A and B are shown apart, each in its own frame.
Chain A
Amino acid sequence: MSWASERARQEFLNCVDRQLGGLDYLERREIIDELAIHLLDIEERLAATGSEGTDAAARAIATMGDPVRIGAKLRDEHLASRLMLRDAFLTGLPLLILGAITAFVPVLDELRRLWGANSDPFQPLLVLGAMLIGSVWLLRRVDHSVFAVLTGILAVFTLVPVTRIVQVTSQWPVSALWLGLFFLIAVPGLLAFVVRFGAFRTSLALLGGVGGYGVYAWGGPGGHVVYPSAEDTFFLLGLPLIVVPFLGTVALSIAPRRWLQATGYGALLASWCVILLFHMIQFDARFGPLPSPKLVSSQSPPLQVSEMISVPVLIASVVALLGIHLLIRLQDRAAIRSFIDRLPVR
């Protein structure tokens, strides 16, 4: 290829590149590489038919079309996925906030306990912030599905039993390691889940995970009220709270028909309400005269923050679930409109 044709091609690619504002470097480079190879292919075909040099380059560029338009359309496509992600987050925001309240408060309590009760309360927040930044950094570099799988493994096999271990043993290196893993892998995992399975299903999985965590956090740290045994707690509360929504959401995500998904969502929603109701009864039972809960020590320790806010959180959970369900219905309506737009009938 001559210098002139190389320059013409580069000008075309630069023009496309200038339209790609808002995209990160890697995205832009891949787009430009793809177009550059296409241009080379056209030039080679033209060369094979006798057209060479600047003439071939000019004809190749003409075949490609308007670089401004191509760049603008590519930018729209790539930014559209980010807008979709933003919408997904907005849809799932109520439950994400609930997740923050029900899971992060116990985690903060736990971290403060590890650092000592008199430690700076902002220290755990700084650590969590650093972990969150690390999570986002990892998410940008590893395939989303890897994190989705890791989240599932963490949610089912790690979160509950390890939380229990953390609470019982108080061995700080183990605790710190698992809490670190939780934030470093589970947070981007949840983000990936939103991208892959949508906000609603992610929210259910999230609520399952944090609900289970909340149950265990209430049951253990600092020698507060506990359920008869760790096994009882796991099978009575932890298992349905985590496994049912998690497996349910995964199963629904692969359901082949929309009506099946809709029915499944309804069933899942109903089962969640039952579980939450059961949870609330358990909560009431803990502070009433019922026999199942018992005190580990004779002293009555003060309530933790997570315990004091639990009833409003549970009520808000039901309200938020209904809100999410409504939003999904609205989204479905938009999806139906989009489907009709795609039909050949105008």
Chain B
Amino acid sequence: MTIEPLNALVVDDDVISRKTVGFNLEQEGFHCAYSEGALDALSQLEMYQFDLVVTDLCMPNMHGHTLAVEILSRPNRPLVIVHSGITDPRMTRELISRGVDDVIYKPTNYSGFAAKAFVWASRHRLASTAAVKDDAIHANQPTSTMAVDMFFSATSDSLDFSDIGRKVQMDPGLSAAILAVANSTGHNQSGNKITDVLVALRRIGMKKVADLALDQIRATSANGH
């Protein structure tokens, strides 16, 4: 099956904002297109399919709010994330209530944002694909959904090992990957094979677990499941 990368459109009249967002998204594996304004963005949306649109609000000719609302009204719309210097919670509430998927404020942690955007866009594409196929999403992609849950659990501030262990055990692919790492020479030099997933989790640490979950999400996305 052909691997189709995630496509993002970055809309901002300010070149530094545009390039910084795009650069970080590209490091996560997105293919990025750029628009200096909302009107050009609408033209690009007519021509190409995007998984994600990141737009500024204050732009000449057409406000980013108008662009976001226009995109939200479309069938099979991409994820819409607003990236703005406007931090007024009333604006955030308005945008989120209209269906905007997230609002981030300038400047933000761009690598963290791009990492989250990758997971969201992957999940969004999975859901869109499933909807097109008229399949039940939860029945169709148990592995990827579990991997996404795992990723968020493993990166959560409040770790619950038994909850994470339970989730891992429901995903044979992820369990196997975690056990394989835990039994590698870098983590287990005793020669006694680790077979308990909870022991394996503690041995390799949550950062590695999150990486493995992310690998699985990427693999699922690339295979078009």
- Tell me, yes or no, whether A binds B: no
